[in-house]
Amino acid sequence: MTINEAINHPEATLVDVRTPGEVAFESVPGAINIPLDEVPARWEEFKSMSRPLVVFCRSGNRSGQALMFLASKGIEDGMNGGGASDVLIHKM
What are the distances in angstroms from CA 68 to CA 8, 55, 65? 23, 11, 5
What is the percent of the chain where pLDDT is above 90? 96
Q: Which pTM value belongs to this model?
A: 0.96
Residue pLDDT, tens place only, 35-73: 999 999 999 999 999 999 999 999 999 999 999 999 999
Residues tagged active-site: 57
Domains and CATH numbers, the chain: 3-7+14-21+30-90 (3.40.250.10)
- Across 30-35, average pLDDT: 97
Mean pLDDT of the chain: 96
Contacts 24+ apart (CB under 8 A), 57-62: 57/16, 57/17, 57/18, 57/83, 57/84, 58/18, 58/22, 58/83, 58/84, 59/83, 60/86, 62/17, 62/18, 62/36
